[in-house]
Chain A
Amino acid sequence: MPRKSTNVDMTAMCDVAFLLLTFFMLATKFKPDEPVTVVTPNSISDIPLPDDDIMLITVDPKGRIFFSVDNQNVRENIIRDVSEYKGLNLDEKQIKAFKYGSSVGVPFNQLKSYLSMNGAEQKDIDKTTAGVPVDTVADSETNELGAWIRIARNNNPKIRIAIKADSDATYPEVQKVIKTLEGWKIFKFNLITGLKAIPQGTAAYEASMGRAPKE
């Protein structure tokens, strides 16, 4: 028998690979850079988080607060207002660092030095920082989260609030965030949760199946 060639034509494989690659490039979004890992509790609610105009308040298991806004132009305006309001005199490099960065979890007095650091140093600070200071009175001097919220709303009145808190965060910490929001007359906000299936035999299950709830 004449010797057959063992050279396989890889063109098809190459096509498949680039098709998959194109799918992933077009249909997905980069995971947002988070300073701290938060495991949210699950709920049956399947309302997706809106795409834009979101202010994200992250609460980690130890109760530390981190603050972020999604739109980069709004971020730039916010940090300029903060710099003016608190007299921080941030230079352009630090403003750019905030604009392109992710969540911030340092008090105002450490903000200037935090924004001067590079990514790895910022990650180190994020591990040990105490978070944005907050308490139950919305407009007190020590409630810096209240100040961030006020400045963010001034720059984007349509902004919506999303709270991403860890399952093990104690209720008093989350209560401080909620009281701060209520102090600024924000009564409608979203809690980011994982998705869990609707338990069978309950009113919500019957409603999801399109049947009238059992009486």
Chain B
Amino acid sequence: MAEMDVSSGGGHKKGPGVKKGKKLSTRVDLTPMVDLGFLLITFFMYTTTMSKPKTMEINMPFKDDKIKVDDSKIKASTALTVLLSKDHRIYYYEGLADDPNNPPNVQVTYFKPKDGIRDVIIDKEKKVDALKQQGALTATDKMTVLIKPDENSTYEDLVNILDEMSINDVRVYAIVDITPVDKEFITATEGANGG
């Protein structure tokens, strides 16, 4: 069906002793060429990728076994502790829970766009700003979020919470090992809510 008309104009090439008496019309069928072209296109479409994968940059705090980390520099009034647990649950409380006589109010939320962890973070930002207005905090104090994933949380939970940090423009946050005290909070809250 596809053709190219390459009929020679009467043998202008003088080959040794070959003389074309008759005019031969050579009609080349281009259909296989087009088929090949599309086959190769399909091959490249399936085996290559145009976009490079995207990444999220992580900076962990500097840690050295010989240097003791000074945690007491975080002010409890700026802190929000977030515990990641199973089934994509988030337990959170304000402050650092460093006073054993004053247990914090541990609440549960999820990664929902509305009434989820994002609203919790935004509320905490507003509280920190209000404290700054009142003068209880200096201008350099920023809201700090401590992220403590437990052994039942997934990598997706971790990436989602780090993403929330960047979505809400939280500058100061850290991924910290979960403490036995926090694990007790989780089991106590689970017991109170029925598992």
A contact set with B: CB distance below 8 Å: 6-11, 13-14, 17-18, 20-21, 24-25, 27-31, 40-49, 51, 59, 162, 164-175, 178, 181-182, 187-195, 198-199, 202-205, 207, 213, 215
Interface of A is mostly: mixed
**Cβ-closest chain B residue relative to A163:** B58
Residues in B with CB closer than 8 Å to A193 are 54-56, 159
Complexed CA–CA distance, A13 and B149 (Å): 58
- Interface contacts beyond A43-B162, A49-B54, A169-B154: sample of 11 additional A-B pairs, CB < 8 Å, sorted by A: A14-B2, A18-B37, A25-B44, A29-B49, A45-B163, A45-B166, A164-B53, A171-B149, A171-B150, A188-B58, A191-B56
A28 CA to B4 CA, complexed, in Å: 32
Chain B residues with a Cβ closer than 8 Å to the other chain, count: 53
Instruction: Give A186's nearest chain B residue, CB to CB.
Output: B60
Given contacts A11-B4, A44-B167, A193-B54, contact A187 B59 (CB under 8 A): yes
Contact B48 A28 (CB under 8 A): yes
Closest to A51 in B: B52
* Contact between A14 and B167, CB atoms less than 8 A apart: no
Q: Does B33 have its Cβ within 8 Å of any Cβ on chain A?
A: yes
Chain B residues 161-184 with CB under 8 Å of chain A are 162-163, 166-169, 175
Residues of A within 8 A of B154 (CB): 167-171
**8 Å CB interface, B1-34 against A:** 1-4, 30-31, 33-34
Smallest Cβ distance from A136 to chain B, in angstroms? 10
Cβ contact within 8 Å between A48 and B55: yes
Q: Do B50 and A28 touch across chains, with their CB atoms under 8 A apart?
A: yes
Is B153 a contact of A171 with CB atoms below 8 Å?
yes
Q: Are A21 and B169 in contact (CB under 8 A)?
A: no
Question: Is A188 a contact of B57 with CB atoms below 8 Å?
Answer: yes
The reply to whether A49 and B52 form a contact with Cβ atoms under 8 Å apart is yes
Residues B155 and A169 in contact, CB atoms below 8 Å apart: yes
B135 within 8 A of A: no
**What are 17 contact pairs spanning A and B, CB under 8 A?**
A7-B3, A8-B2, A10-B1, A10-B3, A18-B37, A20-B41, A25-B44, A30-B47, A31-B47, A40-B159, A47-B55, A167-B154, A171-B157, A188-B59, A191-B159, A198-B167, A213-B169
A199-B167 contact given A10-B30, A29-B49, CB 8 Å threshold: yes
Q: Determine how close the nearest CB of chain B comes to the CB of A26; give it in whole angstroms.
A: 10
Which of A9, A27, A30 meets B3, CB within 8 Å?
A: A9
A186, chain B: closest CB distance, angstroms: 9
**Residue B118, interface by CB 8 Å:** yes
A204 contacts B149, C-beta separation under 8 Å: no
CA separation between A55 and B53, bound complex, in Å? 14
Nearest Cβ distance between residue B126 and chain A, in whole angstroms? 9
Query: What is the CA–CA distance of A28 and B50 in the complex, to the nearest angstrom?
Result: 5
B105 at the interface (CB under 8 A from A): no
Whole-angstrom CA separation of A195 from B155 in the bound complex: 16
- CB contact under 8 A between A170 and B44, given known A7-B1, A45-B166: no
State A47–B118 Cα separation when bound (angstroms): 23
Closest CB-CB distance, A102 to chain B, in whole Å?
A: 14
A204 to B166, CA, bound (A): 7
Asked whether B44 lies within 8 Å of A167 as measured between CB atoms, the reply is no
List of B residues within 8 angstroms of A203 by Cβ: 167-169
Judge whether A43 and B47 touch: CB under 8 Å: no
CB <8 Å contact, B153 and A170: yes
Enumerate chain B residues within 8 angstroms of A40, measured Cβ to Cβ. 53, 159
